[in-house]
Amino acid sequence: MQREVMGACTLICGDAVAILPTLPAASVHLICVDPPYFRVKPDAWDRQWSDREAYLTWLRGLATEWQRILTPNGSLYCFASPQMAARVEVTLSEFFHVLNHIVWRKHDGTGAGTGGHSKACKEDLTAYFPQSERIIFAEHPAQAPAYEVSCDGLRASVFESIRLYLLSEWRRAGLTPDDANTACGTASMAGRHYFTRSQWCIPTREHYTQLQQYANSRNGHSDYLRREYEDLRREYEDLRREYEDLRRPFSVSASVPYTDIWSFQTVAAEPGKHPAEKPLPLLRHIIEASSRPGDAVMDCMMGSGSTLDAARQCGRQGIGIEKDPHWYQHALRRLRQETLLLRTAPAPTTHPPQQEALWP
């Protein structure tokens, strides 16, 4: 087994079936993997199983390790052919909670209405032309008890510790939630959001000051809500950040693909191109949406190393496993070249995920 570390990326040459069991449990935040499709490509790596069931049995062995390696708040993106996507999704659902069945609508970038489908003889087809690829998007199974307990406990800490402080002080002053509406000049928002559990949120600075002044104008006392607002806010933000770190990251916006239909150009054909290489904009979109800076991103069938290339561009750690020595060396050369460019170029800016336009 050959292994090389290049900056934030670790590359391993070997069979994922043998290597995955050696990786620590709950050590990878995002798995983005493009396994063989099963008899779609003419290459030997896509025709090594006698039938579909043999292929799915092999996939189950991988999924068992993916579940073990993935952090409780991690995500899995698994590519599949249209022909096998339904079977792959059902198989993965034995190990993960499937969130989406994403359709990648492919285009080769040569113009509207062109590409592989325009070159096909439609009159000779016996089925619709495959112009897409599928991506199964899944999270750790909901039955992970330690994760649920940790989230529930911390959620209670975020909401309850500060809420109970506000409520106890308000009651100590002999006031009701309706009095909070009077103090803040709201119809019902202050009493509903600052004291009740179901819709709780921390008061704004202005409202906290108004609550302090109103409480301290009662009963001739002036010792209510004595905590400084900044201290209260700091405690809330610390707990909120800890809680957010426990949750599965997912961040998209209107400027990136946020539906389950994605339109990205395929990688242009050129000498030495991997037959199943994925475009960098698509991979960056996955990584930016479902991981945080510094997270570990794994591709256990990395091919030419495009996922690791995208992970490094996005400020993540990359773990790549490749069985074929030829493509392993190709990935090494690719990342080594990128390393040299990074050493001589200004610090790269964040690459926003982009969707390639299908039409002008």
Per-residue pLDDT of the chain (360 residues; tens, 9 = 90+): 799 999 899 999 999 999 999 999 999 999 999 999 998 888 888 899 999 999 999 999 999 999 999 998 899 999 999 999 999 999 999 999 999 999 999 876 655 444 566 677 888 888 888 788 999 999 988 545 555 555 566 566 666 888 899 999 999 999 998 999 999 999 888 888 898 877 788 899 999 999 999 999 987 788 999 999 999 999 888 877 777 777 788 988 888 888 999 999 888 888 888 888 999 999 999 999 999 999 999 999 999 999 999 999 999 999 999 999 999 999 999 998 865 444 444 444 444 444 433 322
C-alpha to C-alpha distance for 313 and 352, rounded to whole angstroms: 10
* Cα dist from 139 to 151, 220, 231, 252, whole Å: 15, 56, 36, 16
Beta strands in 227-343 (DSSP E): 261-265, 296-299, 317-322
Nearest to 214 by CA among 225, 203, 204, 205: 225
C-alpha to C-alpha distance for 118 and 103, rounded to whole angstroms: 20
Query: By the 8 A CB rule, do 117 and 129 touch?
Result: yes
Domain segments of the chain: what residues? Answer: 2-140+252-344, 147-246
Q: Place domain 2-140+252-344 in its CATH homologous superfamily.
A: Vaccinia Virus protein VP39 (3.40.50.150)
First to last CA, the chain: 48
Residue 238 is predicted with a pLDDT of 83
Q: Which residues contact 336 (CB under 8 A, 6 or more apart)?
A: 6
Query: By the 8 A CB rule, do 260 and 353 touch?
Result: no
State which amino acid sits at residue 6: M
Residue 279 is predicted with a pLDDT of 94
DSSP H/E element including 33: strand 28-33
Whole-model pTM? Answer: 0.74
Q: Which residues contact 215 (CB under 8 A, 6 or more apart)?
A: 169, 170, 173, 175, 183, 224, 225
Query: By the 8 A CB rule, do 161 and 235 touch?
Result: yes
